[in-house]
Chains A and B, each alone.
Chain A
């Protein structure tokens, strides 16, 4: 196994768990700690990417452009990245984020809709950015279909295509098979893996992906992300170090960052509890967790029942409005 590139996305995926309430001060402290620990890429955006601040997904406390500017001003070595979901954010926000100093953009589409990203990769490359592509909800399609979509992203100018387990629904074999197939299918582009811990497999799946040849992997401090969170960056660093493939991360500094910088500001520690396991089990988008809890309470419906029904209806990333739809249906049925 070779040393992977580790991308920390506490300030993007963690935005979900934070209900998008990160402040400038918090961003500065977290970026400072990650940068000092040798993390090469730090992602900062609303959880649903640029322009994600909305009634649908949650309104940001502080504009992400301010947070990005703060992160870029703080980092000394790390690259700052932003996430962009075509359909939510546009090239206008990408330009704004570049003006504030991002050096990488990660463009995310459903795992069947890579062709939505063509113009965004095109502009990113014109502006000299490093690029990654996210195939979200990757558990919903077999490796061969993902490979076709990955090749599209590569043809648009994507430097690294990620298998994104948005639902935390993959088992290690499934993660490895997808990464392996992408490695074979792509000419030059790297392959990444982004885990969610809903079935308790955040680190396990990431290791399986690495064994299958993944070049880049994502983590968040304390696993602080949507659903039961992600692979914890500090845990990844410790494990990679023991495996003899530490890419240059300072394990103890990351332990301190997780314990003394992030933990004190976390409103809760994401874990695979009843609702989060239901997300992984039903294969729905991890960010549905807090919305399903709230609407379940409002309408007197079990969040697990809501999540399972959302899985049955094959909802995709970004369909948070379906949670209300389903909650109303279930409340109506139980009357």
Chain B
């Protein structure tokens, strides 16, 4: 790919997520060129790793980023609190913010279910890891038949749950439930998260329960739609695996005893920087890269994102 056909990108936040994202962008840049890796801690390991890869690294945070007018895409892997400060500044500078924090200032985006709606925005939010994992499966059902209720359970290894997740566990459940409704197409969403301390750590696993409005579900159509969706997500999250076909189980639901479409999902990380068991973190950085690539393609086609 020639240099002039890339969109310039920066990563804000030099922690684990930002570092994993950097390795992903270096491995598979697509139409993006990573030109800056910015943190606020000069001693951060992420910054020295970036320098070792020949990437310009700065401990001046967003200030450094704003000095480069050519940077069009900014991945924010800081914190919800920091992103609330960054968001208006980036907007004013006309830079596109891809927000990996729980700040949820911009609309939600899940690349596998996005039909280009996100490309009209200057700030998009990646919901939560559980949302990125389960919303595509829910969407695969709701495009076949209207969904009354969807419930997801994410089990992640304790080792992969950082302080951000731990201190924002209520926000995780609420944001994910909302994502199931807004992006997945369920009338009502519910989310549960469980931490498992087993050593060696378990892979991220998710269970999605879907209750259709009409109890007579077309099983074949759903199975096909889900299978196709899994393939689409695997394009950017190679370790995304459904365990067998969706299971139909009669269960008590908020709508009474109904047929529940149950999907068991395992997510193995790519191991770019974070360990493979941390599929929950990988699904976020992989989705962020994918969204970045969609924006980059749009920018290079000459259509600027609109305010």
Residues of A in contact with B (beta carbons under 8 Å apart)? 19, 53-56, 58-59, 86-88, 90-92, 110, 112-113, 115-116, 118-119, 140, 298, 313-319, 321-322, 324-325, 328
Contacts and interface: CB of A to CB of B under 8 A. Distances in A.
A92 B197 CA distance: 27
Interface string B247-279: 101011110000010101000000000000000
Nearest to B211: A55
Contacts of B195: 87, 110, 112-113, 116, 316
A232 B255 CA distance: 35
A118 B151 CA distance: 25
14 contacts: A53-B254, A55-B252, A56-B207, A58-B252, A59-B253, A87-B193, A88-B173, A88-B192, A116-B169, A118-B167, A119-B167, A316-B195, A325-B243, A325-B264
Interface in B171-214: 172-174, 190, 192-198, 202, 205, 207, 209, 211
A55 B253 CA distance: 6
B153 A113 contact: no
A317 B163 CA distance: 21
A325 to B, nearest CB: 6
A206 to B, nearest CB: 26
Nearest to B244: A328
Given A86-B169, A87-B173, A116-B166, A328 B192 contact: no
Contacts of B190: 54
A322 B207 CA distance: 9
A112 B158 contact: yes
A59 B192 contact: no
Chain B interface residue count: which class?
35 or more
A314 B158 CA distance: 13
A28 B262 CA distance: 36
A324 B262 contact: yes
Nearest to B154: A87
Contacts of A53: 254
A56 B209 contact: yes
Interface string B133-167: 00000000000000001010101001000010011
Pairs A-B, 3 closest by C-beta atoms: A321-B207, A90-B170, A112-B197
Contacts of A325: 205, 207, 243, 264
Contacts of A54: 151, 190, 192
Nearest to A86: B169
Contacts of B211: 55
A240 B89 CA distance: 66
Contacts of A86: 169-170
Contact of A87 (B194, B207, B249): B194
B156 to A, nearest CB: 10
A113 B252 contact: no
A86 B167 CA distance: 10
Contacts of A92: 170, 174
A87 B163 CA distance: 14
B171 to A, nearest CB: 9
Nearest to A137: B197
B170 A56 contact: no
Given A55-B253, A112-B158, A319 B196 contact: yes
A246 B196 CA distance: 39
Interface centre among A92, A313, A319 (most CB of B within 10 A): A319
Contact of A315 (B173, B196, B247, B249): B196
B223 to A, nearest CB: 15
B192 A113 contact: no
Nearest to A53: B254
Of B153, B172, B253, B264, most A-chain CB atoms within 10 Å: B153
Given A87-B194, A116-B166, A56 B153 contact: yes
Contacts of B196: 110, 314-316, 319
Contacts of A314: 196, 198, 202
Contacts of A59: 252-254
B170 A119 contact: yes
B151 A56 contact: yes
Contacts of A318: 192, 194
A321 B153 contact: yes
A316 B157 CA distance: 11
B181 to A, nearest CB: 16
Interface in B65-105: none
A19 B174 CA distance: 25
B247 A324 contact: yes
Given A87-B195, A116-B169, A321-B153, 10 more contacts: A56-B207, A59-B254, A92-B174, A110-B197, A314-B196, A316-B195, A316-B198, A325-B264, A328-B244, A328-B264
Contacts of B202: 314
Contact of B260 (A55, A313, A328): A55
Contacts of A324: 207, 247, 249, 262, 264
Contacts of A115: 163, 166
Nearest to B171: A90
A109 to B, nearest CB: 8
Contact of B192 (A87, A110, A112, A322): A87
A56 B196 CA distance: 17
A127 to B, nearest CB: 15
A87 B193 CA distance: 5
Contacts of B249: 298, 324
A55 B209 contact: yes
A79 to B, nearest CB: 24
B241 to A, nearest CB: 13
A64 B252 CA distance: 16
Contacts of A19: 252
A112 B243 CA distance: 28
